Amino acid sequence: METSRRNFLAAAAATVGTAATTPLALAADKFGRDRDWTGDTTVTYPEPAWEVRDKRFTGVQGNATLQRIWHGMGNDRALWCEGPVWMGDWGSLIWSDIPNHRTLRWIEDDGHVSVFQTDSGYSNGHTRDNQGRLIALEHDTRRVRRREYDGTWTVLVDNFEGKKLNAPNDAAVHSDGSIWFTDPGYGILGPYEGHKAAFELPTRVYRIDPSGKTTVAAEGPMRRPNGICFSPDFKRCYVVDTGATDGPQYPANIIVFDVVNNALRGGKVFADFKPGFTDGIRCDTDGNVWCGWGWGGVDTNGVRVHAPSGDLLAFLHTPEVIANLCFGGTKRNRLFMTGSTSIYALYVNAVGAALS
Ligand code: MG
């Protein structure tokens, strides 16, 4: 019964169709450019922002709507949001507004948004370790930090073999307690997201062992290793390459690795994202990979979902580029998306594999 209902809802969503065949009024609603985010204008279910490409996809919650839960105005306006992390015990979502050098906090109870932290080191990505502590990846201060239960911060790593890290970007936590992070260096390309500085190290993926020792997990084939997540069984690791920010001749894809002896081995292309590229990614408990998408024109603004095989399952269209995303809520079935200057949320029929 439940399975057939889900299939029905997925099939219903699949009938939304493509932009080329969709009436303009519906297309505008689908992409959200003219959408009324106050909720005064009703939306006919299933949520029209969904574009299901494969009927195997069961991730559409057929009676849930895409919400823009925050869009700062005036002096409160965010410039570039990334790094969402669900802090369930705080009843909050935390995220970065990188150029404004701050992190923001949305309170689930009443929707209130306030500054969680100024002087954030231009942090980009966030995650939580297996003890639930907040992990921040900082662009300007070029380090990985952990927030302790008393609110103080501990620097986990800021150099490798005596050379400064480039600008750590994103991280994923393994079941063994290790923290794996990417170091593409976007924070030292210019002043907007950090400061301009020379690269002292190659772009890499690193692993911080629970003992505190940091080792190289992968060097290449990614030009700019960025988003990262593990499969639910921790046997595979997905790493985004945003090399295309350096020019169209470079990759915009996800590389999938085997996790072997505390390192990443056998990398091969999992999915290609041109036009545009992906940045932040998360797995659900079925092993599907949920990917922010954008930078390739308005048709690429949103989220893509790929099966563990790499097959494309679905798009979710949004009016802004989605850099990063995470699952949250007490059931981890609510997708939170950092959409450039806004935060979007949507209940889905899927459950996040990781704590955040
Ligand atoms: Mg990133």
Fill in the amino acid letter for 336.
F
Query: Are 279 and 324 in contact, with CB atoms under 8 Å apart?
Result: yes
Distance from the alpha carbon of residue 226 to the mean position of ligand 1, in angstroms? 5
Q: How many angstroms is it from 107 CA to the middle of ligand 1?
A: 24
Please tell me the distance from the alpha carbon of residue 243 to that of residue 188, in angstroms, as a whole number: 15
Q: What is the pLDDT of residue 15?
A: 38
> From ligand 1's centre to the CA of 61, what distance in Å?
27
Distances (CA, A) of 111 to 52, 58, 102, 126, 343: 30, 29, 19, 21, 11
Beta bridge partners of 272: 253
Mean pLDDT of 192-197: 96
In this predicted structure, the answer to whether residue 27 has a pLDDT above a threshold of 80 is no
Q: What's the confidence (pLDDT) of residue 9?
A: 41
Distance 132 CA to ligand 1 centre (A): 21
21 pLDDT exceeds 70?
A: no
Question: How much is the mean pLDDT over the chain?
Answer: 91
Please tell me what DSSP assigns to residue 277: B
Residue 1 is predicted with a pLDDT of: 37
Pull the structure tokens for residue 258.
């085997």
pLDDT above 80 (res 250):
yes
Structure confidence at residue 351 (pLDDT): 98
Q: Which of 66-75, 107-116, 204-213 has the lowest mean pLDDT?
A: 66-75
For position 71, what pLDDT does the model report? 92
Residue 264 · residue 222 · CB < 8 Å:
no
Q: How far is the CA of 271 from the centre of ligand 1 (A)?
A: 17
Distance 326 CA to ligand 1 centre (A): 12
CA–centroid distance, residue 179 to ligand 1 (Å): 15
What's the pLDDT at 11?
Answer: 40
Rounded to the nearest angstrom, the distance between the alpha carbon of 11 and the centre of ligand 1 is 32
CA of 311 to the centre of ligand 1 (A): 22
The 10s digit of each residue's pLDDT in 200-214 is 999 999 999 999 999
278 CA → ligand 1 middle, Å: 9
Residue 6 pLDDT? 44
Task: Summarize pLDDT for 211-245 with one digit per residue, the tens.
Answer: 999 999 999 999 999 999 999 999 999 999 999 99
Distance 46 CA to ligand 1 centre (A): 30
CA of 106 to the centre of ligand 1 (A): 20
Cα 3 to middle of ligand 1, angstroms: 35
CA 40 / ligand 1 centre spacing (Å): 34
Ligand 1 centroid distance, CA of 348 (Å):
23
Report residue 23's pLDDT band, with 50, 70 and 90 as the boundaries.
Answer: low
pLDDT at 3: 41
* Structural domains in the chain plus CATH codes: 45-347 (2.120.10.30)
Q: How far is the CA of 99 from the centre of ligand 1 (A)?
A: 14
Q: Ligand 1: distance of its center to the CA of 82 in Å? A: 7
User: In this predicted structure, what is the pLDDT of residue 31?
Assistant: 67
Q: What's the CA-to-centroid distance between 83 and ligand 1, angstroms?
A: 7
**Interval between CA 178 and ligand 1 midpoint (Å):** 19
Give residue 59 CA to ligand 1 midpoint distance, Å.
Answer: 24
Spacing, Cα 79 to ligand 1 middle (Å): 15
Ligand 1 centroid to 332 CA: how many Å? 21
Cα of 56 vs centre of ligand 1, distance in Å, is: 29
- Mean pLDDT on 266-276: 96
Q: Do 171 and 125 form a contact (C-beta atoms < 8 A)?
A: yes
Cα separations (Å) of 174 from 182, 228, 232? Answer: 14, 11, 10
- Which pLDDT belongs to residue 32? 67
pLDDT tens readout for residues 44-59: 899 999 999 999 999 9
Say how many Å lie between the CA of residue 6 and the centre of ligand 1: 32
CA of 284 to the centre of ligand 1 (A): 19
Write out pLDDT tens, residues 145-155: 999 999 999 99
**Percentage of the chain exceeding pLDDT 90:** 83
Q: Binning pLDDT at 50, 70 and 90, where does residue 16 land? A: very low
Whether the pLDDT of residue 4 is over 70: the answer is no
pLDDT average, residue stretch 17-36? 59
- Ligand 1 midpoint to CA 124 (Å): 7
pLDDT of residue 18: 43
**Which has more confidence, 54 or 24?**
54
Phi, psi of 240 (to 5 degrees): -80, 140
Give the pLDDT score at 211: 97
Q: What is the mean pLDDT of residues 343-354?
A: 97
Euclidean distance between CA atoms 69 and 214, whole angstroms: 38
CA of 227 to the centre of ligand 1 (A): 5
